[in-house]
Amino acid sequence: AQTVTQSQPEMSVQEAETVTLSCTYDTSESNYYLFWYKQPPSRQMILVIRQEAYKQQNATENRFSVNFQKAAKSFSLKISDSQLGDTAMYFCAFMKKYGGSQGNLIFGKGTKLSVKP
Amino acid sequence: DADVTQTPRNRITKTGKRIMLECSQTKGHDRMYWYRQDPGLGLRLIYYSFDVKDINKGEISDGYSVSRQAQAKFSLSLESAIPNQTALYFCATSDPWTAQETQYFGPGTRLLVL
């Protein structure tokens, strides 16, 4: 079974600075997707960034980028130029691409990020 | 209008009552999911449906049932609610052909079972 671990329950960062959130996962699959979702106080789950395992290039979305290390099974999220609106819970998630349970997201327990003015 | 809607947004019920949470989507996705979120535990999958005739149990299906009334509608029922079903419930949709496996979530339903 797949597992996702986020080892930092809480983090804080000053506005305009850079912060990195950690995520590791355990799987025997070779084809899969990895996601970061953001959950602000409004509780809405919002997709931040997505990575396909077969792609070696790290995904980027504006101020958000990932460091995907497939061999190490690591998928960290870097937020540059942090903004007050980035304050939220961040969840790392794994999805098999093929076979049983394909399409089901496995979530980590989340990291609560606070951006301070 | 939101692409994925959930009703109600908040619900208080008593132990033993039957309740239904509803999810509707206008994204045209075939796949729909129900998740539960508890503090400190992230989201866990309850049930999922890849089309109207295909419904599958997830990680924590005991005490729950679902109905896929149409492509756009997926309901979650608690047959006899108990206090440990107090949680935040999310519906999600996906389409592997156009959305590349990305799941899009509704706004959530906060359920309190007394």
Scan for tokens 């996906």, then name that residue. Answer: B94
∠ CA B106-A114-A60, rounded to 5°: 65
Would you state the pLDDT for residue B41? Answer: 79
**Closest alpha carbon within chain A to B99:** A50
pLDDT band at B99 (very low <50, low <70, confident <90, very high): low
CB-based contacts of A112: which residues, under 8 Å, 6+ apart?
A: A9, A10, A11, A88, A89, A90
Predicted confidence at residue B2, as pLDDT, reads: 63
- What is the residue-wise DSSP string for chain B? --SEEEE-SEEEE-TT--EEEEEEESS--SEEEEEEEETTTEEEEEEEEEETTEEEE-TT-TTEEEEEEETTEEEEEESS--GGG-EEEEEEEE-TTTTTT--EE---EEEEE-
Q: Give the rounded distance of the alpha carbon of B16 from its chain centre.
A: 20
CB contact under 8 A, B107 and A107: no
Share of chain B above pLDDT 90, in %: 80
- What is the pLDDT at residue B96? 73
Site from A5, A7, A38, A43 to mutate, B interface, most B CB atoms within 10 angstroms: A43
Closest C-alpha to B90, from A60, A93, A100, A84: A93
Q: What is the pLDDT of residues A63-98, one digit of tens each?
A: 999 999 999 999 999 999 999 999 999 999 999 876
